[in-house]
Amino acid sequence: MSPPLTAHVAERPGSAGTARPRLIVPYIAMWSGETTEEEPRLVVLPSRTGIGYADEILGDRDSRGVLWDRATLDPGHGTPRFAQIHVHRQRRAMRKLLCQVCAGPADRDDDGTLWLIPDRTQPWPNWPEGMAVAEPPICRPCAHLATRACPALRAEGHFVIRAREHPIHGVDGTHYRPGPHSPVPVTSQPVAFDDPAIRWVLASKLVRTLHDCTIATDL
Protein backbone atom coordinates (compact mmCIF):
# COMPACT_ATOMS: atom_id res chain seq x y z
CA MET A 1 0.00 0.00 0.00
CA SER A 2 1.47 3.35 -1.01
CA PRO A 3 1.71 6.13 1.60
CA PRO A 4 -0.69 9.08 1.24
CA LEU A 5 0.39 12.32 -0.35
CA THR A 6 -1.23 14.64 2.21
CA ALA A 7 -1.58 15.07 5.93
CA HIS A 8 -4.63 13.53 7.56
CA VAL A 9 -7.40 15.43 9.33
CA ALA A 10 -8.81 13.90 12.50
CA GLU A 11 -11.57 15.05 14.84
CA ARG A 12 -10.96 15.95 18.44
CA PRO A 13 -13.30 14.15 20.83
CA GLY A 14 -16.15 16.34 22.07
CA SER A 15 -19.42 16.06 23.90
CA ALA A 16 -22.62 15.30 22.02
CA GLY A 17 -23.99 18.29 20.14
CA THR A 18 -20.76 20.29 20.35
CA ALA A 19 -18.46 21.19 17.48
CA ARG A 20 -15.33 19.11 17.14
CA PRO A 21 -12.46 21.17 15.80
CA ARG A 22 -10.30 19.52 13.19
CA LEU A 23 -6.92 18.17 14.21
CA ILE A 24 -4.16 18.16 11.58
CA VAL A 25 -2.01 15.05 11.84
CA PRO A 26 1.47 15.40 10.30
CA TYR A 27 2.27 13.10 7.41
CA ILE A 28 5.21 11.52 9.25
CA ALA A 29 3.29 10.77 12.47
CA MET A 30 2.36 7.21 13.43
CA TRP A 31 -1.24 6.05 13.88
CA SER A 32 -2.46 3.48 16.40
CA GLY A 33 -3.61 1.31 13.48
CA GLU A 34 0.03 0.98 12.40
CA THR A 35 2.44 -1.37 14.15
CA THR A 36 6.17 -1.81 14.54
CA GLU A 37 8.16 -4.78 15.77
CA GLU A 38 8.83 -4.00 19.44
CA GLU A 39 11.36 -6.82 19.69
CA PRO A 40 12.65 -7.46 16.16
CA ARG A 41 14.03 -10.93 15.56
CA LEU A 42 17.60 -9.95 14.76
CA VAL A 43 20.60 -12.22 14.23
CA VAL A 44 24.32 -11.66 13.85
CA LEU A 45 25.26 -12.30 10.22
CA PRO A 46 27.32 -15.47 9.63
CA SER A 47 30.35 -13.34 8.74
CA ARG A 48 29.89 -11.39 12.02
CA THR A 49 30.01 -8.16 10.04
CA GLY A 50 26.64 -6.85 11.18
CA ILE A 51 23.01 -7.67 11.91
CA GLY A 52 20.06 -8.92 9.90
CA TYR A 53 16.51 -10.13 10.40
CA ALA A 54 16.05 -13.83 11.07
CA ASP A 55 13.39 -13.82 8.33
CA GLU A 56 14.91 -11.04 6.23
CA ILE A 57 13.37 -10.18 2.88
CA LEU A 58 14.66 -8.01 0.03
CA GLY A 59 12.73 -4.89 1.08
CA ASP A 60 14.29 -4.81 4.56
CA ARG A 61 17.44 -3.10 3.25
CA ASP A 62 17.90 0.03 1.18
CA SER A 63 20.12 0.39 -1.90
CA ARG A 64 23.16 0.93 0.35
CA GLY A 65 22.52 -2.31 2.22
CA VAL A 66 21.35 -0.60 5.44
CA LEU A 67 18.85 -2.60 7.52
CA TRP A 68 15.64 -0.69 8.29
CA ASP A 69 13.05 -0.98 11.03
CA ARG A 70 9.75 -2.55 10.02
CA ALA A 71 6.34 -0.87 10.26
CA THR A 72 2.92 -1.49 8.74
CA LEU A 73 1.30 1.20 6.58
CA ASP A 74 -2.23 2.15 7.59
CA PRO A 75 -2.35 5.96 7.93
CA GLY A 76 -5.60 7.53 9.08
CA HIS A 77 -6.75 4.45 10.99
CA GLY A 78 -7.01 4.65 14.76
CA THR A 79 -5.70 7.63 16.70
CA PRO A 80 -2.62 9.71 15.89
CA ARG A 81 0.56 9.15 17.87
CA PHE A 82 2.27 12.50 17.48
CA ALA A 83 5.38 11.53 19.47
CA GLN A 84 6.12 8.56 17.20
CA ILE A 85 7.52 8.92 13.69
CA HIS A 86 6.62 6.44 10.96
CA VAL A 87 9.83 5.00 9.57
CA HIS A 88 8.75 4.74 5.93
CA ARG A 89 7.04 8.15 5.71
CA GLN A 90 9.94 9.92 7.42
CA ARG A 91 12.37 8.27 5.03
CA ARG A 92 10.25 9.21 1.98
CA ALA A 93 9.78 12.82 3.10
CA MET A 94 13.48 13.24 3.83
CA ARG A 95 14.61 11.57 0.61
CA LYS A 96 12.25 13.61 -1.61
CA LEU A 97 12.44 16.84 0.46
CA LEU A 98 8.72 16.81 1.23
CA CYS A 99 7.00 18.80 3.96
CA GLN A 100 6.83 16.72 7.13
CA VAL A 101 3.26 17.90 7.78
CA CYS A 102 1.42 17.94 4.44
CA ALA A 103 3.82 15.89 2.25
CA GLY A 104 3.82 18.60 -0.42
CA PRO A 105 7.12 20.10 -1.64
CA ALA A 106 9.11 21.78 1.09
CA ASP A 107 9.51 25.55 0.79
CA ARG A 108 12.60 26.70 -1.09
CA ASP A 109 13.89 30.14 -2.07
CA ASP A 110 17.26 31.74 -2.84
CA ASP A 111 18.39 31.10 0.75
CA GLY A 112 17.63 27.39 0.52
CA THR A 113 15.17 24.81 1.80
CA LEU A 114 13.17 25.51 4.96
CA TRP A 115 13.64 23.48 8.15
CA LEU A 116 11.77 23.84 11.46
CA ILE A 117 13.99 22.31 14.13
CA PRO A 118 13.15 21.76 17.83
CA ASP A 119 15.63 23.43 20.18
CA ARG A 120 17.48 20.32 21.39
CA THR A 121 21.01 21.34 20.50
CA GLN A 122 23.91 23.12 22.15
CA PRO A 123 25.11 25.75 19.64
CA TRP A 124 28.74 25.58 18.51
CA PRO A 125 30.94 27.97 16.50
CA ASN A 126 29.32 28.55 13.09
CA TRP A 127 26.12 26.85 14.29
CA PRO A 128 23.97 25.60 12.57
CA GLU A 129 26.53 24.69 9.90
CA GLY A 130 26.96 20.94 9.70
CA MET A 131 23.98 20.15 11.93
CA ALA A 132 22.58 16.64 11.44
CA VAL A 133 18.78 16.58 11.32
CA ALA A 134 16.25 13.75 11.24
CA GLU A 135 13.28 16.10 10.90
CA PRO A 136 12.22 16.45 7.24
CA PRO A 137 11.87 19.98 5.86
CA ILE A 138 8.62 21.92 5.87
CA CYS A 139 6.55 24.32 3.77
CA ARG A 140 5.73 27.86 4.93
CA PRO A 141 2.00 27.35 5.66
CA CYS A 142 2.74 24.23 7.71
CA ALA A 143 5.58 25.99 9.52
CA HIS A 144 3.12 28.69 10.62
CA LEU A 145 0.66 25.99 11.70
CA ALA A 146 3.23 23.92 13.57
CA THR A 147 4.68 26.80 15.57
CA ARG A 148 1.17 27.67 16.78
CA ALA A 149 -0.26 24.19 17.30
CA CYS A 150 2.60 21.87 18.31
CA PRO A 151 3.00 21.62 22.12
CA ALA A 152 6.54 20.23 21.81
CA LEU A 153 7.72 23.17 19.73
CA ARG A 154 6.15 25.61 22.18
CA ALA A 155 7.66 23.83 25.19
CA GLU A 156 11.17 23.25 23.81
CA GLY A 157 11.47 26.25 21.52
CA HIS A 158 12.50 25.96 17.90
CA PHE A 159 14.70 27.28 15.13
CA VAL A 160 13.64 28.16 11.59
CA ILE A 161 16.58 27.54 9.28
CA ARG A 162 17.17 27.69 5.54
CA ALA A 163 19.97 25.58 4.07
CA ARG A 164 21.22 25.78 0.48
CA GLU A 165 22.98 22.42 0.81
CA HIS A 166 21.52 19.46 2.70
CA PRO A 167 23.15 16.20 1.61
CA ILE A 168 21.90 12.86 2.86
CA HIS A 169 24.40 11.90 5.57
CA GLY A 170 23.31 8.61 7.07
CA VAL A 171 20.70 7.19 9.41
CA ASP A 172 19.54 7.39 12.99
CA GLY A 173 18.70 4.13 14.70
CA THR A 174 19.59 1.53 17.32
CA HIS A 175 23.15 0.23 17.47
CA TYR A 176 23.65 -3.44 18.36
CA ARG A 177 26.59 -5.61 19.41
CA PRO A 178 26.94 -9.39 19.35
CA GLY A 179 25.38 -11.14 22.32
CA PRO A 180 25.50 -14.73 23.60
CA HIS A 181 22.24 -15.64 21.86
CA SER A 182 21.21 -12.63 19.74
CA PRO A 183 22.31 -9.04 19.06
CA VAL A 184 22.12 -6.74 22.08
CA PRO A 185 20.99 -3.08 21.74
CA VAL A 186 23.62 -0.62 22.90
CA THR A 187 22.67 2.96 22.02
CA SER A 188 20.74 5.10 19.58
CA GLN A 189 22.41 7.86 17.57
CA PRO A 190 23.07 9.05 14.02
CA VAL A 191 25.72 7.25 11.98
CA ALA A 192 27.14 8.16 8.57
CA PHE A 193 26.79 5.87 5.57
CA ASP A 194 30.59 5.59 5.28
CA ASP A 195 30.97 4.46 8.91
CA PRO A 196 31.52 0.67 9.15
CA ALA A 197 29.41 0.70 12.34
CA ILE A 198 26.31 1.21 10.19
CA ARG A 199 26.29 -2.55 9.59
CA TRP A 200 25.28 -2.92 13.25
CA VAL A 201 22.46 -0.35 13.11
CA LEU A 202 18.73 -0.94 12.73
CA ALA A 203 17.79 2.32 11.01
CA SER A 204 14.61 4.20 11.84
CA LYS A 205 15.26 7.66 10.33
CA LEU A 206 17.11 9.12 7.38
CA VAL A 207 19.50 11.94 8.32
CA ARG A 208 20.68 14.98 6.36
CA THR A 209 23.26 17.60 7.30
CA LEU A 210 22.59 21.31 6.79
CA HIS A 211 25.16 23.57 5.12
CA ASP A 212 25.31 27.16 3.86
CA CYS A 213 22.64 28.03 6.41
CA THR A 214 20.79 31.17 7.36
CA ILE A 215 18.39 31.74 10.24
CA ALA A 216 15.01 32.46 8.63
CA THR A 217 13.20 35.62 9.69
CA ASP A 218 10.49 35.66 7.03
CA LEU A 219 7.83 33.51 8.74
- Which whole number is the average pLDDT over 141-148? 91
pLDDT value of residue 7: 57
57 backbone φψ class: left, alpha, beta (φ>0; ψ -120 to 50): beta
Does residue 216 or residue 135 have the better pLDDT? 135
Q: Report whether pLDDT(10) > 80.
A: no
pLDDT value of residue 19: 46
| Backbone Cα Rg of the chain | 19
pLDDT value of residue 205: 98
> What are the boundaries of each domain within the chain?
8-215
pLDDT value of residue 1: 33
Q: Report whether pLDDT(55) > 90.
A: yes
Q: Report whether pLDDT(21) > 80.
A: no
Q: Which amino acid is at 130?
A: G
pLDDT confidence tier of residue 22, bands split at 50, 70 and 90: low
Rounded to 5°, the CA angle 132-108-194 comes to 30
pLDDT value of residue 4: 41
What's the CA gap between 70 and 86, in Å, rounded? 10
pLDDT value of residue 148: 85
Q: Report whether pLDDT(17) > 80.
A: no
Cis-peptide, bond into residue 128, ω within 30° of zero: yes
pLDDT value of residue 151: 76
Pairing between β-strand 168-177 and β-strand 201-215 as defined by DSSP bridges: antiparallel
Q: What is the pLDDT of residues 67-125, one digit of tens each?
A: 999 999 999 999 999 989 999 999 999 999 999 999 999 999 999 999 999 887 778 88
pLDDT confidence tier of residue 218, bands split at 50, 70 and 90: low
pLDDT value of residue 91: 97
pLDDT value of residue 14: 47
Q: What is the pLDDT of residues 159-213, one digit of tens each?
A: 999 999 999 999 999 999 999 889 999 999 899 999 999 999 999 999 999 999 9
